Copies of this chain bind each other. A is one copy, B any other.
């Protein structure tokens, strides 16, 4: 048993190393400018070994996307509970997302690049969208309670969440620094744009 565990552990390490290398290289060079040979080298593995874990290059990047997206949404909703008020829930989730995008910047950039290019299969993309359900449910509740504007989820997402991606990427390019004050301001803008005005 413990022997089998050790063996399995080893394999997962290699898979993780491959996914990590994929994220880093795709971030810096883009999908098609990232050869399998480089991914293998960075993961300290033979190119052929990649094909023991993934069907092909497309499968590797699809799986990487879903893995990172899952990690992202898990983090976003980790401390959220349905018993919270709409405003408190939204503030919490928003801050967790902001937190993730700043702390796990590399992962967030990878997601952004995938979301804005034809790099990912549509199936994998749809798979990734599902994970946002708790936020959509929260918004539905907010609309029912008359706290959140009765807009389509796409509009709410565009104004409440997506701007964080832009800010994170812009900051990563060195244009400016996102500090605590900026984040508080950003949250106020986000909330202003989706809350019902009194």
Which A residues from 24 to 53 make CB contacts under 8 A with B? 27-33
> Majority SS of interface residues in chain A?
helix
Set of chain B residues within 8 Å of A113, measured between Cβ atoms: 116-117
Separation of A36 and B158 alpha carbons in the complex (Å): 35
| Number of copies of this protein chain within its complex | 2
> A105 contacts the other chain (Cβ, under 8 Å)?
no
- A166 and B170 contacting across the interface, CB-CB below 8 Å: no
Given contacts A32-B33, A112-B116, A159-B193, contact A185 B151 (CB under 8 A): yes
Bin the interface of chain A by size. Answer: 35 or more
- B117 and A190 contacting across the interface, CB-CB below 8 Å: no
Separation of A171 and B152 alpha carbons in the complex (Å): 12
Binary contact track A149-187/B, C-beta < 8 Å → 1, others 0: 101101101110011101101110001100000100110
